[in-house]
A and B are shown apart, each in its own frame.
Chain A
Amino acid sequence: MDLFIGQLFTGLSTGSILLLAALGLSLTFGQMGVINMAHGEFIMAGCYTAYVTQQVVGDAGVSLLIALPIGFLVGGIMGWVLEALLIRHLYHRPLDTLLVTFGVGLVLQQVARDVFGAPAVNVTVPEFLRGGVDLLGTTVPKTRLFIMGLAIVAVTAVTLVLRFTPAGRRIRAVVGNRDLAETAGISSRTVDAGTFFIGSGLAGVAGVALTLIGSTSPTTGQSYLVDAFLVVVAGGLGRIKGAVVAAIALGTFQAVFETYSTASLAKVGVFVVIVVFLQLRPQGLFTLRTRSLA
């Protein structure tokens, strides 16, 4: 029974990690159909931001809180630069963007290796996040509660921004119908740059948070990327709601499957489930309806 509750919680927790990693992707992929393979490296940049901040500030707790906004800026600026230098020019070639950003990811990984060295570095977990909390008879690590909380905050913030700010309305207009939005006087260029900034910034935040549970090394981002993409694919293009549901569903599925089988088989199981799922709903859980031929 303890184990069952533990696993249920694990599903939520794994789901929120997936969600943090996938939220930014969902925005950029959804808005521009751009597959940013360097998203994982933006997460890694967030991890190293947390590391560097901690080296400078010293106190683990303070540095974590400072690193979150800095990570957002670091990721955001990297994304903004990437959009301005490359992605903007590859607009009608989404598959090429995928390969180009993969190249960017390779370069960023090697940069990290040359700057910080290949071995993993340690980001100390602040005192107030160490240990666990007893919840319904199982011990739940505080770091995971923190990440779940952060995921909720991030989703709420993104939803609020999209819904209630002028910038957010522009983003939604462009996601809904790019050409129509342009005829309505919205500069989709500016909006693209903005979306990419926010989406990549979220990757940076995710990176900072993930140092609490995982390692910080040049290849850190890669371990999250494929799963994050699957979340976006299963959730449906550009739908935050879809990403949330898909992330939690996949997280829970994996955790439960893993209990009765092995972690490796769980990964394979996730893939099979998604292929079968796409048979039923080829456009993901939630779709924006357009009549576009593309």
Chain B
Amino acid sequence: MLICKNIEVDFDGFKAVNGVDLTLDRGEVHFLIGPNGAGKTTLVDAVTGLAKYSGSVVKDGEELRGKKVHHIARKGIGRTFQTATVFEDLTVAQNLDIAAGAGRSPWALLRRRKHLPANVVETMDRIGLGKEADTPAGILAHGQKQWLEIGMLLVGDADVLLLDEPIAGMGHEERDTTGRLLHDIAADRAVAVVEHDMDFMRAFADRVTVLHAGAVLASGSVDEVSGDPRVQAVYLGTATDEKEPADAATA
């Protein structure tokens, strides 16, 4: 349902993403893996309108290139960031309510909320934060923030979810919960996950695409990909260990 063709992102002559084709399908949890500097996050940036690129991104038959960030978001493409970005001063319910309301009229915005929208209440339970409605998001545990961020995409009716390291910093139990949640929500959505954690990938990936130096190295099921010698070469460290310049700064 999301088709990317020949994406190229150029940072002052450095091709961070160099001709990537990628298709995301409904019902699949699609992992994007690759070493640092492979262009994973940059690819997500491109699709969501943050980075300029050449090539084409089509969702439901509509070309998204050149559209503004918030227009792309309204087309149902949601993303999370490497560091969970939630509104720390607002409560969980407020966070979700904002995420649910991108289409609200100015008049509705200028009034106070009478009651929470049904899908917000529902999603709060689904992401395990049903009891934390009035907790400021800033004091949530790290994992809870990640869930909240995913929940924000759900209430916003995104059907293509691009998640950047959603289990970073989580414990074992939380990872499994997250994995199940991802499968659960992928039932009627396309979910792409940028991840380094191989165990997590093996446990929950329906499909895997390996990026290296801005290009697709391999794509297929977990088994196909892990059997690929080129992938093994990359992960055994024979490839360049160049750091992605602004990886850390994305915080």
Query: Which residues of A come within 8 Å of B, CB atoms?
Result: 176-180, 183, 289-293
Contacts and interface: CB of A to CB of B under 8 A. Distances in A.
Contacts of B243: 180
B110 interface: no
A291 B42 contact: yes
B139 to A, nearest CB: 18
Contacts of A177: 245-246, 248-249
B246 A291 contact: yes
A292 B12 contact: no
A290 B248 contact: no
A292 B11 contact: no
B73 to A, nearest CB: 15
B147 interface: no
A289 B249 contact: no
Given A290-B246, A292-B250, A293-B85, 13 more contacts: A178-B249, A179-B248, A179-B251, A180-B245, A180-B246, A183-B248, A289-B11, A289-B12, A291-B41, A291-B50, A291-B245, A291-B246, A291-B249
Residue of B12, B42, B246 with highest tally of chain A CB at under 10 A: B246
A293 B248 contact: no
Contacts of B249: 177-180, 290-292
Contacts of A293: 81, 85, 250-251
B51 interface: yes
Contacts of B50: 291
Given A180-B243, A180-B245, A291 B251 contact: no
25 contacts: A176-B245, A177-B245, A177-B246, A177-B249, A178-B249, A179-B249, A179-B251, A180-B243, A180-B245, A180-B249, A289-B11, A289-B12, A290-B245, A290-B246, A290-B249, A291-B42, A291-B45, A291-B50, A291-B51, A291-B245, A291-B246, A291-B249, A291-B250, A292-B246, A292-B250
Interface of B: 11-12, 41-42, 45, 50-51, 81, 85, 243, 245-251
Contacts of B45: 291
- Majority secondary structure of chain B interface residues (helix, strand, loop or mixed): loop
A92 to B, nearest CB: 11
Which of the listed residues A176, A177, A179, A293 has the most CB atoms from chain B within 10 Å of its own CB? A293
A180 B246 CA distance: 7
Nearest to A294: B249
A277 B41 CA distance: 31
Contacts of B85: 293
Nearest to B12: A289
A154 to B, nearest CB: 27
A289 B245 CA distance: 10
A150 to B, nearest CB: 32
Contacts of A176: 245
Contacts of B11: 289
Contacts of A292: 246, 249-250
B16 to A, nearest CB: 9
A31 to B, nearest CB: 14
Nearest to B249: A292
A203 B248 CA distance: 33
A290 B249 CA distance: 8
Contacts of A290: 245-246, 249
A292 B248 CA distance: 9
Contacts of B248: 177, 179-180, 183
**Quick one: which of B41, B248, B251 has the most chain A CB within 10 A?**
B248
Contacts of B245: 176-177, 180, 290-291
A176 B11 CA distance: 14
Most buried by B among A178, A179, A180, A291: A291
B84 to A, nearest CB: 12
A178 B85 CA distance: 20
Nearest to A183: B248
Contacts of B81: 293
Nearest to B245: A177
A81 B186 CA distance: 56
B185 to A, nearest CB: 24
Nearest to B251: A179
A14 B245 CA distance: 38
A176 B81 CA distance: 21
A293 B48 CA distance: 13
B212 to A, nearest CB: 19
B95 to A, nearest CB: 17
Nearest to A182: B248
User: Lowest 3 CB-CB distances: which A-B pairs, in order?
Assistant: A179-B248, A291-B246, A292-B249
